Amino acid sequence: MSSDPNSQTSAPNPYWVLLTVSLCTMLYSMTVTVVNVTLPQLQGSLSASPDQIAWVVTLNVVGTAIVTPMTGWLTSKLGQRYLMLGSVGGFAVASFLCATAESLGPMLLYRVAQGVFGAPIVPVSQALVLASFSSDKRAMAQGFFGMAVVAGMGLAPVIGGYVAEHYNWRAIFLLLLPVCGAAILMTLVFIRQAGRAEGHRLDWTGFLSLSVGIACLQLLLDRGESLGWFSSGEVLLYLAGLILASYLFVVHTATCDQPFFNRELLRDRNFSVGLMLVCFYGMLNFTPITLLPPMLQNQLGYPDSLVGWLLAMRGLGMIGGFYVAGRMGRVDPRISMGIGFAMIGVSGLALATVQPDYAANWVAWAGLLQGIGSGILWVPVTTAAFSTLPDRLLPDGAAIFHLLRNVGQSVYIALSFLVVVRSSQINYGELVQNLSPLNDRLTLPWVTGLWGIDNVAALRAASSESFRQAQLIAFNNAFLLYSWTCFAVIPIVFLWRKPAAAT
C-alpha cells in the first residue's frame, strides 16, 4: 500500500502545495469579479435585459454547484493531480470560447462550461490544504489560502475595468489564459497523483435528482418575473420539477445504502451548523460584486475603471480581514463570526443609502468594510465546520460545504435581481404619477430644467429620469434586504459548540 503513488496526498513540501492550489483557486475566483465589472457592457453588446445579463453570473455558479458534489467521485476515478489538470485545462478552453461569443446564448453555454470545469478546483484544493498541514497549522494555511484567493479577486476588477474601458469585454477573458498556463505548470511540478480509489461509485439517482432540483430552482427564480410567475406554464413546470426532484433526493438519500450525500455528515452538529453558515456566507459574499457594477455604471454614471477600483477596495478589505482572522486564532469562532456578519450588515446599510450626489468615497469605505467582514468570516466558518469532522469524511464534507456555498450564492443573486426588477417597476409607477398637469412644480422652469410635460422631448427626459431614480431606489432596496439577511443569521452562529477537547 505504501508503494502505491495514490497513497501520497501531496508534494514533500506542503508550502509549495499551498502556493499551487492558491493559484488554481485564484484563477476560478478571478472569473467572478473580472466579469462583473463589465456586466453593463456585456448587456449592450449581447442585447440582454438586466435580469438576463445576470444569468452570465448565476448560470456559471449553477454549473459549479451541480458538478461540485461529484468531486469525490471524480477524484476516485482520476486522482487529484489529473483532475486538477483537466479542470484548469477545460477552464482555459471555456474562457477562450467566452471571448468569442457573439450573442447571449453561446455566452451562457460557455459560462456554464467555465463553472463545470472550475467546480472541482476549490474542493480539491481545500482537501489538499487540509491533508498537507497538521491540525495546529491548518488555520494558518487556510488563512493564506483565502488571502491569496482574495488578492486575485481584488486585483481582477482593477485590471478588468481598465482593459474593458480601453479595449473591450472580450479581452478580460483572454487575460485568464496566462494564469491558466501558470496553474497547469505548477500542478505538473508540485502536485502528486493521489486520491484514486477502486470501488468508489457515484449514486446517479441522487446526483441527477439534486442537479435537476438546483437547475429548476435557478430557472424558477430567473424566469419567474418575466413570465408572470405562476400564470405561466413554464414556471409551473419548473416548480413541479423542483418539488419532484427534491422529494426524490430526500427519500433516496434517507433509504439508499450508499447515497450521493453521506448521511453521516449530518450527525456532526458543528458541521451541520457550518453548512448553514457557509450557505449564508455564499449568499452575502458575492452579491455586492454583482449588484454594484450595474448600479454604479447605469444609475450613477461611473466609468468601468472607477468601478474596478471600487470593487478592489472590497478585495483589499478581505486581505485585511484574513490578516485579522489570523490574529484572532485563539478567539472563540462564534465571536469572530458574529463580528464578521455584523460588519457586512453595516456595509449593506451604507450601500442601501447611496444617492446620485454621493461621492465614490462612500461606496469605497462600504466595500472596504464589507471585505473586512467577509475576510474575518471565512477562516472561523471553515475551521468551525471541520473542527470535529473525522478525516475520512473530509473529501465528502469539502464537496458539500462548497456546494451549499455556491447554491446560496446563485439563489441569492437571483433573488436580489428579482428585488431590483420588481421594485424598479413599482417605484417607476409611483414616480410617473407626478408627471401630470396637476403637479404645479412642473410649471416652474427653475425646478424642472429640461423636464416637463409641455413637449415630447421634455416629457421623455422626465420619464427617463424617473426610471433612473426608480432603479436606484430598487438597488437600495436590494442592499437593504442584504443587510437584514446579515443581521438575521447572527443567532445561528451560537448554535456551534466548542469541541470537548477545546473546552
Torsion, Cα of 348, 155, 27, 214 (10° steps)? 20
Q: CATH second-level architecture of 5-202+260-425+471-502?
A: Up-down Bundle (1.20)
User: Which of 78-82, 344-348, 460-464 is predicted with the least confidence, judged by mean pLDDT?
Assistant: 460-464
Statement: residue 138 has pLDDT above 80: no
Quote the Cα angle for 207-212-216, to 5°. Answer: 150
Give the pLDDT of residue 51: 66
Give the pLDDT of residue 7: 43
Give the pLDDT of residue 25: 84
Separation of alpha carbons 84 and 191, rounded Å: 9
Phi, psi angle pair for 79, to nearest 5°: 90, 155
Q: What is the pLDDT of residues 311-336, one digit of tens each?
A: 778 878 888 887 887 777 677 888 88
User: Which of 5-9, 22-26, 121-125 is predicted with the least confidence, judged by mean pLDDT?
Assistant: 5-9
pTM equals 0.75
Which among 80-89, 228-237, 406-415 has the top mean pLDDT? Answer: 80-89
Check if the beta carbon of residue 295 is closer than 8 Å to that of residue 468: no
Torsion, Cα of 372, 349, 299, 222 (10° steps)? 90
* Better pLDDT: 372 or 127: 372
Separation of alpha carbons 360 and 367, rounded Å: 11
Residue with cell 499551487: 20
Nearest to 28 by CA among 152, 159, 189: 152
Q: What is the pLDDT of residues 377-405, one digit of tens each?
A: 888 888 888 888 887 777 678 778 877 88
Separation of alpha carbons 359 and 425, rounded Å: 27
Mean pLDDT of 198-219: 81
Q: What is the pLDDT of residues 345-372, one digit of tens each?
A: 999 999 998 887 777 888 889 889 998 9
Separation of alpha carbons 22 and 405, rounded Å: 18
Separation of alpha carbons 287 and 36, rounded Å: 10
